[in-house]
Amino acid sequence: MARRLNLSASTVSRALNGVYGVRASTKALVIETAKAVGYVPNMGAKQLVGKGSGLIGIFAPVFRGGVHSEYLLNFYDMLQLELHKFGKDSLIFAIPYEDYPENRLTECVGSRSLEGCIILSPFGQGHPLIEEALKLGVPFVNFESVIGPHCSAIVSDDREGGRIAGRYLLSQGHRCFAYINGPPKARVSLERWDGFCEALREGGVSQDSVRVLQGDFSWESGVRAAEELRNSGAEVTAIFSSNDRMATGAIMRLAELGLSVPGDISVLGYDGDPYTAYLNPPLTTIRHASDHVSSDVVLRLMELQQGRSGTSERYPPVLLERKSVAVLTKAHSEGDT
């Protein structure tokens, strides 16, 4: 390319790498020519001469039933667009949540020369992946509450989300509930349940009266929860599921069992997965605030790479009111109790 433009190789290199000292017109010409000839920088060569890889690792949890939220899958695209603004690219790593392979993070960072990491929920304090990241000292942003010298946190307020769910169901006249829980040690499961119970207490409903069904964020566990609820004979007018996948599995199984949603029983989900708007009925759910989160995540990571200390920010979720929750009359509600 240098010969084609009648420039020195060093000038072309500086222009392509944004090094100071190259005239704007020359830089523009070099970049335009590089695009025309399909030039792609050799990342391995850049690393050999001491330059960064420009790669950020995105670490997603995988449960036995698969990735627990389509919201996370769509979030990758937004993160990628924001990383491109800083000249970065990303690699996605699917990491088992329950059976974490020892030193997996260290292997990923070392083998790909990652400059930083974005660790998605619900990897949190005490999980071996997070503990390894803290010891490794790689700059990373997590979606739990972990902060440190090289670590910032972007947290969805799951307790508030649980409160929103409980208050909404109470406002629709419901007093008899079932709750489909996620992995019991995950912060998101604990906080969504705690917030839900707080709202029920405000409304004069004891949390001890709630039928708790154990799930694992998978479609299958939602199916099992619906079967367990049906077989128990419990008088329940509304189900709050701690994620949308389990809510969807429950709705499908309830239909097979001859129960309509929301005619016979209401269902409220959590996460705001895009597909939930197209279910029958469209699922009422709690959505993570996502308008600016991706840009904030990348900005916090860039700050950590520049040596700044870790910070923590909490974002409130919002209710997406659709068609899966019925309004109960006072007489209906009291009759069920």
- Cα separation, 314 vs 97, in Å, equals 23
Q: Which residue has the tokens 């004891």?
A: 206
pLDDT tens column, 224-280:
999 999 999 999 999 999 999 999 999 999 999 999 999 999 999 999 988 999 999
Residues 147/149/150/153 CA torsion (nearest 10 deg) = 20
Q: Tell me the angle at which helices 244-256 and 70-84 cross, rounded to the nearest 10 degrees.
A: 150
What is the per-residue pLDDT for 182? 92
pLDDT per residue as tens digits for the range 21-60: 677 888 788 778 777 766 655 444 444 444 578 999 999 8
Residues of the chain with pLDDT under 70: 1-2, 14, 17-21, 37-51, 64-74, 290-291, 330-337
pLDDT at position 42: 47
pLDDT of residue 289: 75
Q: What local confidence, expressed as pLDDT, does residue 337 receive? A: 38
The reported pLDDT for the residue numbered 329 is 77
Task: Please tell me the pTM assigned to this model.
Answer: 0.75
Write the DSSP string, 221-265.
HHHHHHHHHHHHT---SEEEESSHHHHHHHHHHHHHTT--TTTT-
Instruction: Name all contacts of 330-334 with Cβ < 8 Å and 24+ positions apart.
Output: 330/173, 332/173, 332/237, 333/173, 333/174, 333/175, 333/176, 333/237, 334/175
How much of the chain exceeds pLDDT 90, in percent?
62
C-alpha–C-alpha distance, residues 257 and 230, integer Å: 8
At 45 the pLDDT is 43
- Whole-angstrom Cα distance, residue 92 to residue 85? 18
pLDDT at 322: 97
Q: What tokens does 312 get?
A: 């923590």
